[in-house]
Amino acid sequence: MEPQVPQDPFAPQELAERVARLEAQVAWLLQRQQAPTPQAPAPTQAAVRPLPRPIIRPATPRKEISPVVWIAGIGASIFLLGTIFFFRWAIQQGWVGAELRFILGLLVGGAIAAFAAKLILGDSRGLGVALLLAGLGTLQFTFRAGAMEYHFYAAPLGLAATALVTLVAGGLAARARSGSALTVALVSGLVAPLVFSQGGHHEVALTVYLAVLMAAALAVPYLARSGGSWHGARWTALIGVWLLLLPACAEVMKADAATLAILLLVHLVLAGLWAWLPGTEEVPGTPTVLWLVASILATTYGWLLWKQMGLAVETFALPVIVMAALNLALVQPLRRRMDSRRADWGLLALAAGHLALAVPVALAWRWVGPLWGSFALGLAWASLKAEDSAFSEEAAALRWLAAALALATTLRWAFHGLDGLFFRSQTFTPFLNPAFAEGALASAAWWLLTRRGGPLGLISFLDLEVTANVTLAFEAARLIQRFQAPGAYGYGPSRAASIAMTLVWALSGAWQWMRGLGQRDAARQALMIAGYAWMGIASFKLIVADLDHADTPLRALAFLGVGGIGMAAASLANRKRHEDPS
C-alpha cells in the first residue's frame, strides 16, 4: 500500500475550494441579515429594542448668594448707619455747614449709586445690588435732611427727588434685566413716604403716589421682557403697597373716602397686572397666590372705606358679588395666559368665598366667622385639586393660605363663638348659630389639610381634633340645655349639659380608637393616640367635675353611658379582629 502524499494547502485547486466556501458563508450571512426579522416574543423584543432616550430637563441652577454679596450688604447697612452718625456728630461739632453737608451727601450717594450701576451692568451684579442699596439710602437720607432739617425746600419736593432717583434705578433694573435691582428700587420708593411724612391727612396723595410708583415699576418687566421669576420684586410691590394702603383706608376723612375707593380699584388692577404680567413672554410664578392676597385685601379695605362713607352695611354685599363675578370672568382669559388650568381652582375658590361673604354681609355681620371658614374650606379644596393637576407650587401656596384662614376662623370661634353656652340667657339655637358654623367649617378645612401629610398635616390633625370635638360637645350641651331649661339664667352649662359633653368626647375617643385599629400606616398611631386621649379626658372630667354634688340617678346615668361606650367599642373591635385575622 503506497503512502498517501499530503495535499498542498496552497495548491490552486485547494485555494479555489476554500474561497468558494468562504463566499458561500458570506452570501448566507448577507441573506440572513437582509431577510425580515421574525416576530419575536414581547419580552425579547423589549430587550432587543433600544431604550428610548430619557428626556433630561435641565435642572434649574440654585442661586447661591456669594459671601462677597453678604459682606457687601452688611457693609452697606453699616455704612448707612455710619453716615447718619457722622452727620449728626458733625452737626454737633459745628465743623461743616448745612450746605456743605447736603452737597457731600449728594456726592457720596451719587458716587456709590453710579459705581453700583457699573457693577450691575458688568459681571458683579450681586455686589452691585448691595451697593445700590447703600447709594439710594444715602441719597434718600440727604433729601430728607435737606427738607426736614435744613429746610432748603418743601417736603414734597424731597419726595419727588427720591421718586426720580427711584425711577432711574428702575431704568437700570430694566436695562440689566435684574429683579434684585428692581426690588431695591421698590424698597426705596416705598420707604420714601414714611421718611417724608409730616402727619396730617394726606391719604389721597399717598394713594396717588403709590399708584404712580407701581405703574412706573411695572414698566420694568415689560421693557426687560422678563419678570415672571422675579418673586422678590413682585411680592415687595404687592405687600409693600397694600401695607401702606391700610392706614390710608382706615384713617381717611369722610370727604375723601369716595376718591380713595376709586383709587383702590386702580390699585387692584395694578396688583392684577403685577400678578399675571399679561403680554410678557415669560409665564409668571405664583400668580394665583398674589391675586388671592390682593383680592382679599381689596375686599377688606373696601369694607373700611364703605364704613367711612357712611353707607348701609347690608349694601356692601353688592361690590362683594361684583368681585366674585370678576374672579369667575378671569378663569378663561387666565387659562389662555398660563396655557393651562393652573389658576382655575384658586379663582373658583376665591369666587365661592366672595359669594359666601355676600350672604353674611347682607344678613348679619356676626356671620363673618363662617365667611372665613368658607374661604379656608374653599382654598383647602382648591389646593387638593391643584395638586392632582401637578401644579405643586400653586398647591403648596394654597395650602398655607387655607391654613392661615382656618387658623383665623378657629381663633374667632375660640374667643367669640362659645359665649352662648356659658351665658344661658343668650343660648343660641343648637346647630343653627354662627359658633357651630365656624367650628364645622374650620374642622372641614383642617380635615382636608390633613390629607397632604407632612408638618402641616400634623398641625392640621391636632387642630381638627380640638375644633371638631369641642364643637360637637358644645352643640350637644346646647341641645340638652335647650330642652332642659329654655329660659334659665345663669353662668356655665347645666350639670346634664356638662355630662352630655363628656359622653360626646367618650364616644369620639372610642370611634377614633376603633378606626385606628383598621389602619395600616401612620394614621393608625395618630387615631389610636387621639382615641386614648379623648377617652381619658372624658373619664377624668366625669370623675372630677361632672359628678361633684350630683344625685344618685345622674351618677348612675353618667357611669352607665361612659362605661357602656367603652365596652361597646371593645366588643366591636374584638369582633372585627376575629373577622379580619390579617
For residue 207, count CB atoms less than 10 angstroms from its CB and return exposed for 0-12, middle for 13-18, buried for 19 or more.
Answer: buried
Residue linked to cell 421669576: 229
pLDDT at 389: 62
Report the amino acid identity of residue 25. Q
What 3-state class would DSSP assign to 321? Answer: helix
> pLDDT grade, residue 56 (50/70/90)?
very low
Most confident of 40-44, 288-292, 380-384: 288-292
Radius of gyration of the chain, Cα coordinates, nearest whole angstrom:
37
Residue 311 resides in a domain: no
DSSP 99: H
pLDDT at 570: 57
Enumerate long-range contacts of 548-556, CB under 8 Å, 24 or more apart. Answer: 550/495, 554/495, 554/496, 554/499
pLDDT at residue 18 tops 50: yes
pLDDT at residue 367 tops 70: no
Contact 289, 394 (CB under 8 A): yes
pLDDT at 339: 80
Residue 260 resides in a domain: no
pLDDT at 210: 93
> pLDDT grade, residue 238 (50/70/90)?
very high
- 189 is written with which cell numbers? 420708593
What share of the chain in percent tops pLDDT 70? 69
Residue 304 resides in a domain: no
pLDDT tens digits, 248-275: 998 899 899 999 999 999 999 999 999 8
- For 316, residues 6+ apart whose C-beta sits below 8 A from its C-beta are 302, 303, 306, 361
**Mean pLDDT value of segment 393-398:** 70
Report the amino acid identity of residue 410. T
Residue 513 resides in a domain: yes
Which H or E run includes 229?
none
pLDDT tens digits, 198-237: 777 888 999 999 999 999 999 999 888 888 888 889 999 9
Residue 535 resides in a domain: yes
Report the amino acid identity of residue 444. A
Domain boundary among 181, 197, 213: 197
Residue 362 resides in a domain: no
What 3-state class would DSSP assign to 493? Answer: coil
| 340 phi/psi in degrees, rounded to 5 | -170, 180
Count of the separate structural domains present in the chain: 2
Contact 553, 534 (CB under 8 A): no
Distance CA 379, CA 350 (A): 8
pLDDT at 46: 41
What 3-state class would DSSP assign to 3? Answer: coil
Residue 26 resides in a domain: no
Sign of CA dihedral 537, 539, 544, 549: positive
Domain boundary among 171, 197, 223: 197
Domain boundary among 154, 174, 197: 197
Q: Which of 255-264, 357-366, 488-497 has the lowest mean pLDDT?
A: 488-497
pLDDT at residue 395 tops 90: no
- 533 is written with which cell numbers? 386621649
pLDDT at 15: 65
Phi-psi region at 116: left, alpha or beta (left = phi > 0; alpha = psi -120 to 50)? alpha
Helix pair angle (392-416, 287-308), 10° resolution: 30
Residue 542 resides in a domain: yes
The residue segments making up the domain with residue 536 are 497-579
pLDDT at 580: 54
Regarding pTM above 0.85, the answer is no
